[in-house]
Amino acid sequence: MKTIVVYKSKTGFTKRYAEWIADELKCDISEYKNISGTSVVRYDLIIFGSRLHAGRIDGLDKIKELIAHNGNSDLIVFATGAMPAAAENTLEEIWRSNFTEDELNKTPHFYMQGGLDYEKMGMFDRFLMKAFATALRKKRNKTQEEISTEQAIKSSFDASSREYIAPLIQYVNSIIT
């Protein structure tokens, strides 16, 4: 099964996960911006990884479109974000808003916690994070998750870990053997 990991990464967390996955699977890897329809058709399986950005999986719609119009490669998606994987309800909402019911059923999807890197973030993203932090600070009756988020986003942190790729690797190994 010819496989490629395609990633979109602004501050490096998704890139690191993509490299760990490609290393584990001994498969090709490419940055999203270098992928075209002609390169996609050469692969049976595309593992697409990107960051969560205000609840959206950055670039997911474009990769779905690219695959739909170029052959019939299988797609696996992984998303990285600042929130812990334990935030299961939020995560479930995110999957539901990024995929249709049908896509959810046929697209294996995985979450791997990354972190935040204010130094590598662009100006616009820093502005958005500041607006988000202010809104959280002013909010009354915060949930426990919101209180933790408010603390966590105050400064850069790195929660990435190679072990978080295990469920995805296990899944891929189960379909190729």
Ligand X SMILES: Cc1cc2nc3c(=O)[nH]c(=O)nc-3n(C[C@H](O)[C@H](O)[C@H](O)COP(=O)(O)O)c2cc1C
Q: Which residues in this chain contact ligand X in the complex, by CB under 6 A? A: 9-15, 51-55, 80-83, 114-116, 121, 125, 128-129
Q: Which of 156, 154, 54 is nearest to 114 (CA)?
A: 156
Q: Quick one: angle between helices 144-152 and 123-138, nearest 10?
A: 140
Give 27 or 133: the residue with its C-beta nearer to ligand X: 133
Least gap, CB of 54 to ligand X (angstroms): 5
Give 86 or 104: the residue with its C-beta nearer to ligand X: 86
Give 3 or 14: the residue with its C-beta nearer to ligand X: 14
Give 13 or 110: the residue with its C-beta nearer to ligand X: 13
Least gap, CB of 139 to ligand X (angstroms): 16
Least gap, CB of 41 to ligand X (angstroms): 26
Least gap, CB of 176 to ligand X (angstroms): 26
Q: What is the 3-state secondary structure (H, E, C) of the chain?
A: CCEEEEECCCCCHHHHHHHHHHHHHCCEEEEHHHCCHHHHCCCCEEEEEEEEECCEECCHHHHHHHHHHCCCCEEEEEEEECCCCCCHHHHHHHHHHHCCHHHHHHCCEEEEECEECCCCCCHHHHHHHHHHHHHHHHCCCCCHHHHHHHHHCCCCEECCCHHHHHHHHHHHHHHHC
Give 6 or 81: the residue with its C-beta nearer to ligand X: 81
Least gap, CB of 73 to ligand X (angstroms): 22
